[in-house]
Each structure stands twice: as C-alpha cells, then as structure tokens.
Amino acid sequence: MRRITDVPSGLYRCSYLLHLANGDLNIEGLDPHGPGTYTFAVLGGDGTYADATGQATLTDSPDGTDMVIDLTP
C-alpha cells in the first residue's frame, strides 16, 4: 500500500465484470485516467453473454462513468 501524492497519469489496464439480469459480461481496456471517452473490448461472460463480442464506450466525467455497450450479432 502506498500514498499517492501526485496526480496520477498514464494508462491503466482495467477490467469490469458487469452483473446483469441474464448473466455477467466482462469488458477490458486501457483507461487514460481522467475525463474523456475511450473504448473497451467485450470479452464475453456467462449466461446470455457467454459468446458475447463487441465494444464498450466509456465516458468519464467528474460525475462518474457512463457505459454504452454495443454487442456484435
């Protein structure tokens, strides 16, 4: 554990496991830290999302993160 005293910069490799009504969905990508819009890959999941592919667009703002997920048919 360490105390971060400077504003972090650089890219962070991030993974999200989203618990949805019909299964879990896994997305992963690089987060440049701070406000902005970036794209993550949809890596699949389980249940309805077992074979899911596509992309997720994440938009960070001071109020939080919005996700729009586009699954490939």
Domain ranges of the chain: 12-71
User: What backbone torsions phi and psi does residue 49 show, to the nearest 5 degrees?
Assistant: -100, 15
User: What backbone torsions phi and psi does residue 27 show, to the nearest 5 degrees?
Assistant: -125, 150
Q: What is the pLDDT of residues 17-70, one digit of tens each?
A: 999 999 999 999 998 878 899 999 999 999 999 999 999 999 999 888 899 999
Average pLDDT over residues 1-25: 81
The pLDDT assigned to 33 comes to: 79
pLDDT band at 10 (very low <50, low <70, confident <90, very high): confident
- The model's pTM: 0.80
